[in-house]
Structure 1
Amino acid sequence: MEDQMTISVRDLVSYVYRTGSIDERFQSNTALVEGTAIHQEVQKTYRDGDEKELFLQHEFQQEGIVLLVQGRCDGLLQREDGPVVDEIKSTARELEELDEDTHPVYWAQAKGYAFMYMHDHHLNHIVVQLTYVQKKTKDKKRMRRTFRYEELKAFMETTVKAYSSYAGILLHIREQKKRTVPDLEFPFSGYRKGQRKLAGSVYRTIKEKRHLFAQAPTGIGKTISTLFPAVKAFAEGGLDRIYYLTAKTITRSTAEEALQLMEKEGLEIRSVTLTAKDKICFQEETICQPEYCEFADGYYDRINGAIVDILRKETTMTRHTVEEYARKHRVCPFEFSLDLSDVADVVIGDYNYIFDPRVALKRLLPEKKKKTTLLVDEAHNLVERAREMYSSKLGKRDLETVAEDWRGEQEEVARAADSVVKDLARLEDPKTPHKQLDEIPGALEEGVERFINQAEPVLQERGEDVRKEHLQDVYFQSQNFLRILELVDDHYRFIGDSSAGDFQLTLFCLDPSLVLRKVSGGFRSSTFFSATLSPFAYYKEMLGGSKEDYILQLPSPYDSDQIDVQITPLSTRYKNRQETSRAIAERLDEQAGHLQGNHLFFFPSYQYMELVYDAFRNVSDYKAVMQERGMDEDRREDFLSQFVPGGNLIGFAVLGGIFSEGVDLRGDRLNGVAVVGIGLAPRSFERELIMDYFKSKGRNGYDYAYVYPGMNKVLQAGGRLIRSEKDHGIIQLIDDRFLTRKYLQLLPEEWGNYRMMK
């Protein structure tokens, strides 16, 4: 029996005919949206009897493989001298720069559609037309070629033959997955308490194409309990890919380890970890231009060989593995990882690859999303991240600099920037540095759009110019501003801010739930999970949950007697911090003396941490280390490496920072935790707007804006302590407000047997 696989015409010809270099001297990041709009505009001009989005497919047999090639032709035009296959492409280049040899991949795609139509309708010849539309002017340039049937048949057979060896590898991978997934066993001798229920819920969610919100306490093994059932769901059919999303690098490593555990049980699938471009780039500066970077130069000439090589030899493609093969084949490691995400079964990466409109993967087309499930780890982090993703700022000073830079040389750019500056100045109120605005005038929106249109051709020009870097930054800020403006509804507020000597207009997202629901709704299913989705109703609402979604709240798998919870009623309010700092330092010293070992103490700010650290050094003999501002990955690792079994080290860290989440110090590497303060964010204009908004919706606005996000940080920090059934230790909560009813209700059940300290 021959193996069969399906591929789009576009993917087939892109693989076979793409050549050249990565050149991100300038690329508009709205190309997909603009392209769709331009396609529709051209298609509106078709005559009666013309067809658009015509579905075509054809089977090719090559070396024991049946390749089903399919796609949608932009247009099939019926003309007096016969049918014309129309392929529409938008371009930022000037039309006179384009000739018939400019884009061989475009011609190859159109020829693929033409062959399939000819074969179905028994034609001897056909006209193929490329319709280029200039994005700025909307002018059109059409190029036509006439092809004979035998000519296109030979072309497609050659194309399929060139693809067949790669198709064989993909089929081999698919067969490995198909063969090993059904027999895969849970990679531990048994399930922890609650683990089976979580795994079963994730499996059911994917099978039924639903969404799940799950609170699974620390130590339950959330990563394996979500990845394992998702992998098993491959056997059900209809699921091609898993995206495991997280905000923390260390959590990505845990996901990689879970896949490696399943691999030891016989699983054979491919996974790739996506690493941010600025972290994985081999060069000192991330400049994606062929004359600067050897890994960008000729990238598309070498990438197919790199992909084939790594897929043949590797399964879990971590950052290290991607870098190794990228160096071997001299290809950009970031683009390499993105190309691998098209064929990997599991993709591990940051939230932004799915949720951030600026960097979300455009290659994930709607039909692919319907066969993809999302596993969103540490989902409590996504609320604030989403607020940032779906908010946008436009600064007057940045545009003034653009106008100054280009005046007298690119007058249209300077005038367009000046126009936006004037529109922003009209919104400015020197008497009120922070101000909520009722509306944004339409003239400003039109002015920003005009600036974008004027800046784009300047950015596309060749040649080095230091001013372009700033122009490009403002260009993308402006693009994002218009993109977010399209989302604005009653979930948003307009803020004018002139407090820092500049005027900034912010589109501030108060409630990201609507956009998150829309994004996740495009996928087959999604599971949002965390140890601290507490209070549960708040996080389900903020993450875009609805009545139809599944929910799961699991109790802690550990006994409450593993934790000695202490509440010390000292004031940590800003006005009392100086006078209570010594008393707090003494309580922390007592904790370290009561239970020998390593302790981590968390504070709501660097300033407060430094204040108590100085007091602690005066009252204690224990060795103490303190988190530094702006620590890079190496410094973070150095900090954590000092927490060794049997040690007596005191660590001072910031609540909500890099050491209060995702850090796994098992056993005697950590014996005690203290949280100083209730984690409230400082009062701010934006937080007050959030409070007022939710109050108007019938919610407790203060809790939504301050209490719940703050307590989540407290719970996350406390969760660093008990990581296994064998762990024991102290959690000390220092603040008199912890003893009020509001905060006691927010403590986990296993913290209920607390002791009040004097």
Structure 2
Amino acid sequence: MEQSIAISVRELMTYVYRGGDIDNRFRTNTTLTEGTAIHQEVQKTYKEADEKEVALEHSFTRDHIHIHLQGRCDGLLQTEDGPVIDEIKSTARELEELTEDSDPVYWAQAMGYAFIYTEKEGLDHVRVQLTYVQKQTKEKKHFLKVITKSELTDFMEACIEKYLSYARILLHIREQKQQSIPDLSFPFPKYRDGQRPLAGSVYRTIEEKRDLFAQAPTGIGKTISTLFPAIKAMDLKNMEKIYYLTAKTVTRATAEEALQLMSENGLTLRSVTLTAKDKICFQEETICQPDYCEFADGYYDRINGALVDILMNETQMTRPVIESYARKHKVCPFEFSLDLTNESDVVIGDYNYIYDPRVALKRLLPDQKKKTTLLVDESHNLVERAREMYSARLPKREFLVLSEDWEYENDKLAKAADAIYKDLERIQGGRTEPFLIEELQGQWEEALERFIEQAERQLKDEPVDQQSEHLLDTYFTTQNFLKILQLVDEHYQVLGTVDDGDFAIKLFCIDPSHVLSETTKGFRSSIFFSATLSPFGYYKDMLGGKKDDYILQLPSPYDSSQIDLAIAPLSTRYKSREQTAPRLAALLYEQVKRGEGNHLFFFPSYHYMHLVYQHFRMYEDVEVAVQEQGMDEERREDFLAQFVPGGSLIGFAVLGGVFSEGVDLRGDRLNGVAVVGIGLAPRSFERELIKDYFQQKGRNGYDYAYVYPGMNKVLQAGGRLIRSESDYGSIQLIDDRFLSPKYVSLLPEDWGNYRIVKE
């Protein structure tokens, strides 16, 4: 039986011709957008008869495998000597460094297009041109070859032959997936309450190529209820890949467990989990250079063998699996995991791999996005994360230091840095409080571009030392500032801020809904889900929802009798904290005595937590574990490991921190929760800007800036308690504002039967 596989010319030639090292020695950072702009600039110089972005395709059949090759050549030029296939490449290198043999992959791409064109037009030869454009100077350098049809045929036959064995592997794993999905059943004897409607909604949303916003209570099994239908939807036409996105490592592990469960039920597909470079790197420092790292040295010479090995022998490519094969084949584990995303059916990773303009995966091309579904877990977190991703700062002090550091070594660089420092000094005007900047006057962007150009010249051949490292950091800060500056519109405010005495300009993304919507719309479907996606209007609005998006709000499957909810009307306002701290400690101790077992108490800040802890220590008959600032993963796990079934541990933790969401302490591992305060962020210049912005938009600005984000933290913390039908326990909400109608209306249904603690 004949099988078929489609591949782009670029993918084919990259597989066959890549080689050499990972070498992240400084290179100018040409983004996909900049590369496209450079292509367009060259194409504007084409003559009237010339064509650009010419679609080409050709098919081969070898050993019952049908290979469909396709792509777009940058230019098809008509000259007196016949047609020319033009391949355009932007480069950060100096043009005099480049020779005809500098980039075998680029020549291979051009020759791939040339082969298809000669086949289509019946030509016996064609001219092939490689056009390099220097990123900074925009100067061009051309290499031109005349290649016969027989040479192109031999070249292409050799490429197809080298690719054929890999194609067989890809077809094999695709066949495994296609055969296992139709018979895959839900991996539990029955659905929990709420799971079937959630799974059905996810499948229908993907089928109809729409988006869904779903609130599903904590503990019903949201991960399996979204992953299972999304995988079943891979039977649909043009649905090939799933990105499972989350903000926390613990929820990535839950996704891996769900895939393992389905694997035990007969599912066979490939999944890869992405881990941040600084966590998965084998070396002490993440210096990706062949003379420092053996896993970077010769990476591209060995990567094809590593890919074949892991794809043939593994289905779930988790961090330990990736590390094992990376050591075996001596390849960089981080780059290896990124290369695996091309062939994986499910990719598990942080939000930033899709949404952050600085680190989003450039390899995920528009045609692939249309066949990809996003599952965005704990998506209430994405609002604030997006604000951070799409904001940028430019600090004054860094440029002063650079101007002094390089004054005698590189006068042009020092002057470029000093010009920015003086601009920032002028804008600050001696002010020490934050202020709005109505307009960045003067040749602002040009000054930043001049600094970037001088920094690039200096960094190009600079060995890594402390001085050049600081320059590199500031270079990337400036690059990012310029990148975000292109996005600034009515959803932004430009601020002057002063932190620790250092002035900075901040491009503050007040409303990330527009950029989130622009990112999301490229994908087939997006499923935003969380236990606390309420109020729906707020989250749908902030996450860039559209009128025709689906909404699903599932009731809690748990009985309100499982929760003993108490509201203690004690003031936790900043001015009252010293005065009420002894009574607060007593309320917490009374909760412990009323319901034995393990308890977690959440506070608005570390300072407040330690204040109350000093009073709580007087109760010597209880054991207390206190969250520390900056805990690494190992210390977090140690903290949680102390909550054992049948124990009597009291945990003091921070609201909105790592222990207040995504933590699963089932059964008797957790018997009680207390939330101190209503979770409001402190009043600040930026929060007030958010409030004013949404007030002008006709929303309740105070709720958008303070109430909804704060109450989400409260609900997430309370959600740590009831994780299954058999869990019971107590929740105490401590603040008099919890009894106001606004806050009562935001409580979940199963928290409705509360009692009020008397003074």
- State the TM-score bracket (shorter-chain normalisation): over 0.9
Contact residue 255 and residue 348 of structure 1 kept, 8 A = yes
Q: C-alpha separation between the residues in 2 aligned to 1:620 and 1:489?
A: 57
1:408-447 correspondence runs (5 A)? 408-447=408-447
CA distance in 2, matches of 1:618, 1:462: 59
Distance across 2 between alignment mates of 1:499 and 1:371: 44
Q: In the alignment, which residue of structure 2 is the partner of 1:216?
A: 216
- Cα distance 1:396–1:431, how it changes in 2: closer, same or farther (>3 A)? closer
**Aligned ranges 1:600-639 → 2 under 5 Å:** 600-639=600-639
Q: Rate the CA distance shift 1:464–1:729 in 2: closer, same or farther, 3 A.
A: closer
Is 1:228 paired with 2:224? Answer: no
Contact 1:29–1:358 at 8 Å: present in 2 too?
no
- For the residue of structure 2 that corresponds to 1:337, the secondary structure is helix
Query: SS of 2:379's equivalent?
Result: coil
| 2:112 match: secondary structure | helix
Partner residue in 2 for 1:561: 561
Aligned-partner residue type, residue 115 of structure 1: F
Q: Which residue in the other structure is 2:732 paired with? A: 732
Asked if structure 2 preserves the Cα contact closer than 8 Å seen for 1:127 and 1:145, the reply is yes
Match of 2:502 in 1: 502
Q: Deviations over 1:390-441 (max 9, x none)?
A: 1000011111122222223222222211111121111103244211111112
Tell me which residue corresponds to 1:343: 343
Given residue 717 of structure 2, which amino acid in structure 1 is its aligned partner? A
Q: Tell whether the 8 Å contact from 2:567 to 2:756 is kept in structure 1 after alignment.
A: yes
1:377-456 counterparts in 2 under 5 A? 377-456=377-456
Contact 2:655 2:717 in 1 (8 A): yes
Tell me how far apart the structure 2 counterparts of residues 400 and 545 of structure 1 sit (CA, whole Å).
43
Q: Is the 8 A contact 1:586 1:619 kept in 2?
A: no
Match of 1:182 in 2: 182
The amino acid that maps onto 1:325 is Y
8 Å CA contact 1:247–1:381 kept in 2: the answer is yes
Shift of 1:620: 4.5
Note the C-alpha offset of 1:3: 1.1
What are the equivalent positions in structure 2 for 1:267-666 lying under 5 Å apart?
A: 267-666=267-666
Asked if structure 2 preserves the Cα contact closer than 8 Å seen for 1:402 and 1:471, the reply is yes
Q: Distance in 1 between matches of 2:442 and 2:228?
A: 51
- Kept after mapping to 1: 8 A contact 2:391/2:506: yes
Where does residue 113 of structure 2 map in the other structure? 113
What SS does the corresponding residue of 2:618 show, helix, strand or coil? helix
Distance 2:678 2:15 in 1: 55
Higher mean alpha-carbon deviation, 527-536 vs 493-502, is at 493-502
8 Å Cα contact 1:643/1:649 also seen in 2: yes
Aligned counterpart, 1:240: 240
For residue 373 of structure 2, give the secondary structure of its aligned residue in structure 1.
strand
Secondary structure in structure 2 of the residue aligned to 1:483: helix
- Offset of 1:499 from its aligned partner? 4.8
**Contact 2:27–2:92 (8 Å) recurs in 1:** no
* Distance of 1:539 and 1:230 partners within structure 2: 22
Partner of 2:169: 169
The 1-side partners of 2:287 and 2:463 are apart by 14
1:691 equivalent to 2:697? Answer no
How does 1:78-157 map onto structure 2 within 5 Å?
78-157=78-157
| Deviations, residues 658-706 of structure 1 (Å, cap 9, x unaligned) | 1001000000000000001111111111111111111111211111111
CA distance in 2, matches of 1:44, 1:499: 46
| Secondary structure in structure 1 of the residue aligned to 2:321 | helix
Between the aligned partners of 1:50 and 1:249, the Cα distance in structure 2 is: 52
Deviations 1:83-113 (A, max 9, x none): 1111000111010000011001110110111
Whether the aligned pair in 2 keeps the contact of 1:737 and 1:743 (CA below 8 Å) is yes
Name the aligned partner's letter for residue 658 of structure 1: V
Q: Secondary structure at the match of 1:6?
A: strand
> Separation in 2 of the partners of 1:498 and 1:381?
27
Per the alignment, in what secondary structure is the counterpart of residue 617 of structure 2? helix
Once superposed, which parts of structure 1, at least 4 consecutive aligned residues long, lie more than 4 Å away?
none
> Is the 1:52–1:74 Cα contact (8 Å) retained in structure 2?
yes
Q: Deviations over 1:587-606 (max 9, x none)?
A: 11111111111000000000
User: Residue type of the partner of 1:746?
Assistant: L
- For 1:660, the aligned partner's letter is S
Would the aligned equivalents of 2:667 and 2:727 in 1 still touch at CA under 8 Å? yes
Does the 8 Å CA contact 1:272/1:341 hold for their aligned counterparts? Answer: yes
Conservation of the 8 A alpha-carbon contact between 1:248 and 1:662: yes
Residues 642-661 of structure 1, C-alpha deviations (whole Å, 9 max, x = no match): 10001111111000001001
Q: Distance in 1 between matches of 2:61 and 2:21?
A: 32
Query: CA deviation digits over 1:282-323, x for unaligned, max 9?
Result: 111111111111111110011111111000010011111111
Distance in 2, matches of 1:303 and 1:460, equals 27
The answer to whether the Cα contact below 8 Å between 2:19 and 2:300 also exists between their aligned partners in 1 is yes
Matched-pair contact (CA < 8 Å) for 1:434–1:499? no
SS at match of 2:473: helix
Asked if 1:707 corresponds to 2:707, the answer is yes
Please state how far the C-alpha of 1:488 moved relative to its aligned partner: 1.0
2-structure distance, mates of 1:219, 1:285: 39
Counterpart CA distance in 1 for 2:91 and 2:411 is: 24
Q: Distance in 2 between matches of 1:595 and 1:559?
A: 19
2:198 maps to which residue? Answer: 198
Structure 2 CA distance for aligned equivalents of residues 448 and 479 of structure 1: 8
Output the CA distance in 1 between the equivalents of 2:432 and 2:462.
44
| Secondary structure of the corresponding residue to residue 618 of structure 1 | coil
- Supply the distance in 1 between the matched residues of 2:432 and 2:406 (Cα, whole angstroms): 32
Aligned residue in 2 for 1:48: 48
Count of matched residue positions in the alignment of Structure 1 and Structure 2: 758
* 1:326-360 Cα shifts (integer Å, max 9, x gaps): 11111100000000011100000000000000000
Task: Tell me if the contact between 1:219 and 1:557 (Cα under 8 Å) persists in the aligned partners.
Answer: no
| Alignment-mate amino acid for residue 665 of structure 1 | L
Q: Which amino acid aligns with 1:60?
A: F
Contact conserved, 1:376 with 1:526, CA < 8 A, in 2? yes
CA distance in 2, matches of 1:120, 1:704: 59
**1:716 lines up with 2:716 in the alignment:** yes
CA distance in 2, matches of 1:431, 1:25: 39
1:59 match: secondary structure: strand
Residue identity in the other structure for 1:174: R
Q: Extract unaligned runs of 5+ from structure 1.
A: none
Distance 1:236 1:418, change over 3 A: same
Secondary structure in 2 matching 1:503: strand
Q: Is the 8 A contact 2:462 2:468 kept in 1?
A: no
Superposition TM-score, scaled by structure 1 size: 0.99
Distance, in Å, in 2 between the alignment partners of 1:30 and 1:514 is 25
RMSD of aligned residue pairs (Cα, Å): 1.1
Instruction: Indicate conservation of the 8 Å contact 1:13/1:159, yes or no.
Output: yes
What is the TM-score normalised by the length of structure 2? Answer: 0.99
Could you say what secondary structure the match of 1:214 adopts? strand
The one-letter code matched in structure 2 to 1:564 is D
- Offset at residue 457 of structure 1 (A): 2.5
Q: Distance in 2 between matches of 1:27 and 1:341?
A: 24
